Amino acid sequence: YNDTQSVLGYCSVPLLSSILGELAAGVYRVPMDLIKQRQQAGHGTSTAEIFRGVRSTHSSIFFASYLASFNRDVMHSGLQFPTYEYLKLALSR
């Protein structure tokens, strides 16, 4: 029980920091993903035209894209970073 408590306490900081990091990264990543998706779908003839189209996008689309990206990325980093910290702790003993 005590070992479990110490490991959970040790891994909670990486879990929280990975979630906050994904929140911050999503602010940059979501608009870039929208530009990339619109280029691949052929919604414009130039990058500048696509960029103007993304700038005029309704905020609900940004919010939906942000939630989808956040849910995907938090699951990954929420497992990766605490697992790394746990293994680092376990292997150092």
Structure-derived torsion over alpha carbons of residues 44, 50, 54, 57, reported in degrees to the nearest 10: -30
Helix (H, G, I), strand (E, B) or coil at 1: coil
78: Cβ contacts below 8 Å, ≥ 6 apart: 15, 18, 19
Give the model confidence (pLDDT) of 39-77 as tens digits: 999 888 888 898 888 888 888 888 898 999 898 888 888
- Judged against a pLDDT cut of 70, whether residue 6 lies above it is answered with no
Cβ pair 34, 57 in contact under 8 A: yes
Give the model confidence (pLDDT) of 31-40 as tens digits: 898 889 889 9
